Amino acid sequence: MGRKSVRNVAAAEPENLTGLQRQKVRDYYETLLSQGTGALSPDIVAYLLLCISMILLFVPVQELFAEGNDSDLFLIVWGFTLLFTTAVSFYMMKYHSVTYGNNKSETVADMLLYMPVDRRENRRYLFGVLAGFLKKTTIAGLIMQVGVALIAYRCVSIWNIIYILVLTFVAPLVICGSTIVLRDVQLRR
């Protein structure tokens, strides 16, 4: 009967129970967003930063990876990648930050601490929202990048695709995704 500090994970849930949990989490967030989270809408800031960071799409990728290029271009690309990631973070803020009495800010994960919620499903839902948003921006980015490459160089290289996938999908997914996990880990006591 004894129990160690590191908790044994319960036996795998039946699929329908997992589906039910997923549905509950989705309903919870939809209800929460329909009521408003009480924080200033971060969407406006997110879209504004997103527009500015679209400069990324006009970087001449062929020159970026050409031999003997100016290294400043890498810094500019990195800067705008961070700006893009910041825009994504602002977009995700409505799922993280809620006003909790006396203008204190809490995360939704904090609010769910004592609730009958599978934390894995909560994380999975947030990752789903994040990946969904990034998928849209990446597809738009790919179309723009290919279009720009065709107009400027009359050819598309594999670097055009890799460039967009890494900077507007993989990098923000890793950076913003790690904050989702970190917020959850912070609850460990």
Nearer to other proteins, 39 or 144 (CB): 39
Nearer to other proteins, 118 or 153 (CB): 118
Smallest separation (angstroms) from other proteins to the CB of 125: 12
15 lies in the binding site for other proteins (CB under 8 A): no
Task: Residue 28: name the closest of 92, 99, 152, 118 by CA.
Answer: 118
| Among 19-27, 87-95, 126-134, 160-168, the segment contacting other proteins (CB under 8 A) | 19-27
Smallest separation (angstroms) from other proteins to the CB of 24: 5
38 lies in the binding site for other proteins (CB under 8 A): yes
Binding mask 134-173 for other proteins (x = CB under 8 A): ----------------------------------------
CA distance linking residue 168 with residue 158, whole number of Å: 16
Q: Which of 40, 75, 139, 187 binds other proteins (CB under 8 A)?
A: 187
35 lies in the binding site for other proteins (CB under 8 A): yes
Which residues lie near other proteins (CB under 8 A)? 1-8, 10, 21, 24, 27-28, 31-32, 35, 38, 98-102, 106, 110-111, 113-119, 187-189
